[in-house]
């Protein structure tokens, strides 16, 4: 059995996407790294998750 660390933000991303897959895990990690590298945060009041479907 695989265990994950609790991350409500990631859970919201998985819920939006509809399932947990490698693309979601990788995209989430890359987005978080990019936000750290660019020293940016979500605008105040922006709790939404943005994603695009192919
Ligand atoms: Zn997927």
Distance 14 CA to ligand 1 centre (A): 9
Q: In this structure, is residue 51 part of a structural domain?
A: no
Three state DSSP letters for 6-45: CCHHHHHHHHHHCCCCHHHHHHHHHHHHHHHHCCCCCCCC
Q: In this structure, is residue 54 part of a structural domain?
A: no
Residue 49 has pLDDT above 60, yes or no: no
Q: What whole-number distance in Å separates Cα of residue 19 and Cα of residue 51? A: 14
Q: Which domain holds residue 25?
A: 8-37
Q: In this structure, is residue 19 part of a structural domain?
A: yes
Distance 18 CA to ligand 1 centre (A): 7
pLDDT digits (tens, 9 = 90+) for 7-44: 899 999 999 999 999 999 999 999 999 988 888 776 67
Q: What are the tokens at 17? A: 């996407």
Mean pLDDT of 2-6: 73
Confidence of residue 53 (pLDDT cuts 50, 70, 90): low
Q: In this structure, is residue 42 part of a structural domain?
A: no
Helix, coil or strand: residue 26: helix
Q: In this structure, is residue 24 part of a structural domain?
A: yes
Q: What are the tokens at 8? A: 């409500």
Q: How many domains does the chain have?
A: 1
Q: In this structure, is residue 32 part of a structural domain?
A: yes
Distance 27 CA to ligand 1 centre (A): 10
Distance 19 CA to ligand 1 centre (A): 6
């Amino acid at each position: 059995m695989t265990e994950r660390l609790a991350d409500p933000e990631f859970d919201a991303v998985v819920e939006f996407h509809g399932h947990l897959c490698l693309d979601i895990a990788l995209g989430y990690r890359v987005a978080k790294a990019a936000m750290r590298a660019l020293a940016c945060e979500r605008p105040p009041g922006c709790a939404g998750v943005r994603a695009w479907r192919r």
